[in-house]
Amino acid sequence: MGAVNFPKAFEKRVQEDLFLGQPLLDALDSTAPVSVRLHPSKTKPELDFLSEIPWCENGFYLKERPSFTLDPLFHAGCYYPQEAGSMVLDTILRQIPISEEPIVLDLCAAPGGKSTLIASFLDGKGLLVSNEVIQPRSRILKENLAKWGYSNVVVTNNDPKDFERLPDFFDVAVIDAPCSGEGMFRKDPESRNEWSEDNVQLCAARQKRILADVWDTIKSGGYVIYSTCTFNSLENEENVDFAINELGAELISIDLPRPIRMGRNGSGHYCIPGETEAEGFFVAVLKKRDGEIGKLKYETKKDVKQLTGNAMKDLKLEEFMDTAHHDFFQWNDSILAFPSAVSQQMQHVLSKLRIVKAGTIVADIQRKGINPHHELALHNNLCTYSKRIELEKDQALQYLHGDTFSLSGEHGWQLITYQNQALGWIKHLGNRFNNLYPKEWRIRMRV
């Protein structure tokens, strides 16, 4: 199949824009870099690293794109393939002054690159509410955050306007707004066929609406990190002006390393292909001006029951995990773990929004006791189960494929590991085992 040409209107606009010009078009027809971000606490993968990404701790360029699907450590949440430009978020989070236990909203979060980055930045402190309005994409988001392995996370499936139910709640909102996608023209040439001037106009209007819809959910003195993967001023600088002039936002100066370039009229910053080793990315930091904050009254979800005393003893969770620093709840037939420091805030979110994932599911309640849950196996530090079976790579891929095979070990629950990193559970029956890796997560290609 031949090359996909640029839309004529896009090509003309870029050529006539003194901020961009022909060099951008040339760069968009070159080869896109490959980059990943490592989990700060899990096993380091054996990838062919090229260099570090200067604006993100644990971000790296690769010499070439491997088959991530055939690496068990990818499935264990040891790293996340992410476009390098969007990793600028790491530097921004480390620059803005926020509390030790911040409450962060990732509003347009699927598939999960920025959310896993935020989770690493928080490192178990504070709370991340990761939202995706499109339901099938919210399930992908849930999977990626479960693999990343932190319990201070709630995944929601809501329209931005629904967040008016949480006034003055978030310290930071990350809004990677749906856009016309010009920054993806190199990585995904077919996206060029979907671009139009009308779509740019529609995207810009929708972005304004999203900013306005969630503005009241930001605390006084809180921050909005607004970004797109596009180059035009309509979706970028002009929307920053809208937030300043219509919402009363203050544009915050941030220091990003060269060759990241400041935007038009000093509004925001750009990663521009050909200048940076990244796809197209625009970002600006806005502050909600100081004002009065009302006293929050936290509510709880009525069908979520906190477990204490004898109920906790009867479950015998200590066999599988460290129960300190967490509160435990029963929701339907699942046991959830919430960090005690933000347990109230998490319950409040559950009472207001449509929930896809809350905290870490540590176990499912059965007639004869509990079954440890897959999310517990992948948690960064909650799981302490000692009965483990280490697999070779070919066995690990078979396990992730959903296969069973000859495997020595004692009866009962066993935690399956690869390079000492947990992959999931089996129930060993002596001469065989039940493979409990989630069916919807299994490798579908031949291994």
Q: Which residues does the annotation mark as catalytic? A: 229
Alpha-helical segments (H) within 329-443:
343-352, 374-378, 393-401
Judging by beta carbons within 10 Å of its beta carbon (0-12, 13-18, 19+), is residue 235 exposed, middle or buried? buried
Residues 6 or more apart whose Cβ sits within 8 Å of residue 202 = none
Q: Angle CA(70)–CA(71)–CA(74) in degrees, nearest 5? A: 120
- The rounded distance, in Å, linking the Cα atoms of 219 and 258 is 32
* Alpha-carbon Rg for the chain in angstroms: 23
Is the CB of residue 304 less than 8 Å from the CB of residue 177? no
DSSP states along 279-317: --EEEEEEEEPP---PPP-----TTEEEE-HHHHHHHTG
- The rounded distance, in Å, linking the Cα atoms of 283 and 88 is 8
Distances (CA, A) of 349 to 129, 151, 220: 8, 14, 19
Query: Taking the mean position of all CA atoms in its chain, how far away is CA 48?
Result: 24
- Token readout for 283 is 């970002």
- The rounded distance, in Å, linking the Cα atoms of 359 and 351 is 14
- The rounded distance, in Å, linking the Cα atoms of 393 and 390 is 10
Is the CB of residue 382 less than 8 Å from the CB of residue 322? yes
Distances (CA, A) of 366 to 322, 354, 372: 21, 26, 10
Task: Report the candidate in 32, 31, 33, 39 with the shortest Cα–Cα distance to residue 59.
Answer: 39
Strand, coil or helix: 53? coil
Q: Give the bridge partners for 425, in sequence order.
A: 415
